[in-house]
Amino acid sequence: MLLYGSQKGQAQSIAEGIAEEAEQHGLVADLSCLNETTKYNLEQENDPVVFIVSTTGDGEPPDNALQFVKRIKRKTLSTDHYKHLCYALLALGDTNYANFCNCGKTIERRLQDLGAKQFYATGYADDAHRHLTFRIWHLTCIILFTLQAPF
Ligand SMILES: Cc1cc2nc3c(=O)[nH]c(=O)nc-3n(C[C@H](O)[C@H](O)[C@H](O)COP(=O)(O)O)c2cc1C
């Protein structure tokens, strides 16, 4: 499962690239935008989930990730709400902004608070070095995805 939140299209195109590559490796990659809530259900997701999210405004989530971020920030959610969830996250941002990758960091923090487990360390891709960071993260993620390790 691949989920993206993107303001200007960069995170979306990276997510589409990973989906394409995953399919070339014989994997089924379900790709959705975070606001397409009828297409995914994290409450019942047992397959690994990869999040690709950018940050906009002054450290805000992209418009199409706003509701998702609001939902996972609800204080009524228990600390084991996502304990079944296995994820990796790539945050896109720009170090010229004060709140570098803030949306990715917020999602990351909440997933951890709610008991989700990472299967690969979060990547923070700065616009200036994005291609290198992304390439390394992407390749490793695909390999781990393929091996389904270490579930
Ligand atoms: C208006 C605007 C505001 C931004 N604000 C931030 C920010 O607060 N923190 C950050 O790390 N990056 C910020 N960025 C950089 C974007 O996150 C970065 O360019 C990213 O690659 C865009 O991905 P997207 O096309 O999927 O939205 C901002 C970019 C724009 C155009």
Q: Give tens-digit pLDDT for 27-49.
A: 778 999 999 999 999 999 998 89
Domain count, the chain: 1
Residue in 12, 13, 14, 54 to alter for ligand 1 test, most ligand atoms within 8 A of Cβ:
54
CA distance 101 to 99: 6
The domain in which residue 72 lies consists of: 2-147
pLDDT of residue 143: 62
**Whole-prediction pTM:** 0.92
Q: What is the band of 116 on the pLDDT scale with cuts at 50, 70, 90? A: very high
- Which is nearest to 53 in space by CA: 97, 95, 2, 19? 2
Q: What are phi and psi of 56, to 5 degrees?
A: -135, -175
Residue 7 C-alpha to ligand 1 middle, in angstroms? 8
Name residues contacting ligand 1 (CB within 6 A).
6-11, 54-59, 62, 92-94, 97, 99-102, 127
For ligand 1, atom 4, the nearest C-alpha belongs to: 56
In whole angstroms, what separates CA 141 from the centre of its chain?
Answer: 12
On average, the pLDDT of the chain sits at: 89
Q: Which atom of ligand 1 is nearest to the CA of 12?
A: 26
pLDDT category at 24 given cuts 50, 70, 90 is: confident
When mean pLDDT is compared across 103-107, 113-117, 142-146, the lowest value belongs to 142-146
Question: Cα of 56 to ligand 1 centre, how many Å?
Answer: 4
CATH of the domain at 121: 3.40.50.360
